[in-house]
Structures are given as C-alpha cells and as structure tokens.
Amino acid sequence: MRKIWQVSLITATTIVALVAGGSAFALQNVANTSQKGSLLVWPLITVDHLNGASGDTVVEISNDANVGIHVECEYVNERKGRVNFDFTLTAKQTASWDVLTTAGDHVFPPPFPTHSGNPDFFGNPQRGELICFATNPARGFQVAFNHLTGTATVLSLNDTTAAQPQQAFKYNAWAFAARSDTGLALDNTTRPQGAPGQLLLTGNGAGTYDACPAYNIANFMPNGATLGNLRTLNNTLAVVSCNQDLRESYIIHATKLDFTVWNSNEASFTGAFYCADSVTTVNLADPPVTAGRNFDFFVLKTKNARFEVRGISATPPCRFPTQVSGLLGVLKSSAGILPGRGSDGLIGNTLHGAGILPGFVLWDPAPPVGAPRH
C-alpha cells in the first residue's frame, strides 16, 4: 500500500484556541510524566539485537479507578512496522509484560513488530514506541478515563562491550488527560471523547486531550565528561512526535530535531540537528547528528550542560518533507563508575516538557456490530 507524505499547517485559529485553552486551564493542560491520563505514550521500547546489542523492555500499566476500563495499544517501530492489541484492566488492576518474550501478568501481547513497514524509510525495526489509550469495550471509540499510568524498564541483557553486560533503567510514560470545557473530563465510557478515531491533543475544550510540549529540555553530563566517581560515555535520545497516525493507511509525519546546547558557563552551541520520523532513537554524537560534537565534553568544556530540542519544519536539509511537531523524549546515558573504564550502568529518565503545541493520534476504530466491512 502506498504511503503518502503530508505536511500539516498550524493555523492562526488553532494557535488562538490554544492560547485561550492555556488561560482557561492555567494549572495544567499539557502532557507530562507525573499525572494520570486517558492516553499514555512510551517513547522507547526495544528488543534490539542488532549490532551485537541484546535489548528488552518490561512494560507496566495501571488503572487507579474503582471501575474497569478497556485499553487499546499499538507498537510502532522506527521503520513504521506496527501491530495493535487490546485488553481490559479491572478496578485498581495493574498489568505487566515482557516485550521480547511476550510473557505477561494479565496481558499477553503479540510480539513486537520487527519487520519494515516502509522499506524506503530509515531506522531500527527492533526499536520503537508504545501508545495506549482508553476505549469502550467494543473498541468503537476512545473515551475519557483519567486513571491510567505506566512505566517501562529498558534492559540490556548481554552488552559484550560493557564492563557490566547486564544493565537496566526505568522511566515513566508520558500521560495525556482527557479534557472538558472546564478542566479534566469526567469519566465516560459510553460516549466518544471527540470524534471516533481522532484523539486531538490541544488541551482546549470538550472532546480533546492535553496538548503536547512544544519542546523538551534536559540536564546531562557531556559525552566523555568525568565528575567525581562518574564518567558519561555517551548520551542517546529516544523521541516521538505528537503527530501520530496509527491507521492502516497511514500518513508519514516527519520533523527536524533542532538542538540548542548550553554549557554550565551559559555559553550556547547551535547547529546540531537530526531529520526524524514520528519515532526515533539517536546517539547524540557526530555522526549521526549533524554537529553532534556539541554534546561532547571537548567542545562544551564543562562537566554539566543542558539542551533544548524542538521539532521544526525545515526542508532542506532533510531529504523528505518535515513539519512542526511537539515532542515526547527519553534520555539514556551509558555511565562508568571509576576507576573502571567501561560502561557500568544505564542512566535514563523522561525529559521535561515546556511550551505548548497541538498534536493528534489517529487510529482505526472497530466497525459497529453488523456494519458492512470493506
């Protein structure tokens, strides 16, 4: 099936609505990793066994409500291979599963898709994202149910290049709450939250979900820096956009990751960028990042630094159309503990979001019972 490129425009009307929504919901109307929500996004899921790696991920998801809920989930890899699955969480239930082996506690998902859904695109098919959201039991439409939380534990099972070949870290899923005209939407599992198949991430009224952060920020130790007993060997960013098309006949939404880096002396370093699909994991080095040396200690010359990353529209230099996009990121670092010289552990966490941008998640609801299939 032929895939279509599309560049979405943010209209002035949308921006005005977002500003209005932001003032109406001054306390919170942007996705974050500390709240409960109706939509959860895990930016880094891996079963990576390429290039000598041996990766796995354990996913946990919980329902904090006193009633049950149906959950629709989809894996998407970096080459656009995908598979969806669904399950029910009873009242106060938590569930978990191992992505590599598919062993589960109440949930037994299909294997992570490691095929190339789009052979013309780039990326590692053994890495990607997980998106889950609340639906009615028949999977006919998404619903408001702000009681879901989730985590992922990323595992390195046998990294032969590391001093410690078995390593792991855990991060929280990004959570989007369903919204009403006055704030958080009340639970409603019998009526769609917005049009079926369209989760609007604008945070500005009934039928919408929280908006997306316009950019992400991170504190980090530069590649090659040593402070006390800690040395950082390299930093890797896993990031997904807030323009997600999960439909069978999907449209590709790409963006340019644009970085600004500051060292601890407040000197700024610009020019680093990477052309990315809606789900990407990239080592912050040159290559693959253009001007990725901006993340290295020998350039920054301080043992602590911070960066900001935005999804912008800039074609060229990317070889495909790109568009403005909000971002959801996870930063992982390979760390050494002195006096050793190899990698002794993985350090990882979700980034901090700032600003506000609209986004969307599109999916294929199940047809009503008795409806003709085409």
Q: What is the pLDDT of residue 369?
A: 63
Fill in the DSSP letter of residue 22. Answer: H
List alpha helices for the chain, DSSP H. Answer: 12-24, 297-300
d(CA 309, CA 27): 24
- Classify burial at 31, counting beta carbons within 10 Å of its beta carbon; exposed 0-12, middle 13-18, buried 19 or more: buried
Task: Provide the residue-wise pLDDT of the chain in tens; the chain has 374 residues.
Answer: 444 444 443 333 443 344 443 333 344 799 999 999 999 999 999 999 876 668 999 999 999 999 999 999 999 999 999 999 999 999 999 999 999 999 999 999 999 999 888 776 778 999 999 999 999 999 999 999 999 999 999 999 988 888 888 999 999 999 999 999 999 999 999 999 999 999 999 999 999 999 999 999 999 999 999 999 999 999 999 999 999 999 999 999 999 999 999 999 999 999 999 999 899 999 999 999 999 999 999 999 999 999 999 999 987 899 889 999 999 999 999 999 999 878 999 999 999 999 999 999 999 999 876 655 44
Q: How far is the CA of 336 from the CAs of 52, 215, 234, 365, in angstroms?
A: 20, 29, 10, 47
- Any idea which residue has 């990407």 for tokens? 280
Q: What is the DSSP string of 262-274?
A: EETT--EEEEEEE
- Which of 68, 182, 200, 181 shows the shortest CA–CA distance to 134? 68
For the chain, domain boundaries: 12-196, 215-360
Mind spelling out the 3-state secondary structure of 293-306?
A: HHHEHHHHCCCCEE
Q: How far is the CA of 36 from the CAs of 48, 94, 144, 150, in angstroms?
A: 29, 14, 12, 9
d(CA 364, CA 293): 42
Q: What is the pLDDT of residue 54?
A: 84
Q: Which tokens hold the place of 166?
A: 């078995």
Q: What is the pLDDT of residue 372?
A: 54
- Give pTM, 2 decimals: 0.91
d(CA 327, CA 157): 29
Q: What is the pLDDT of residue 370?
A: 60
Q: What is the pLDDT of residue 163?
A: 87
d(CA 28, CA 221): 30
d(CA 46, CA 155): 8
Residue 374: CB partners within 8 Å, gap ≥ 6? none
Q: What is the pLDDT of residue 38?
A: 98
Q: How far is the CA of 321 from the CAs of 2, 4, 248, in angstroms?
A: 16, 11, 21
Stated as kind and residue range, the H or E segment containing 178 is strand 178-179
127 bridge partner residues: 46
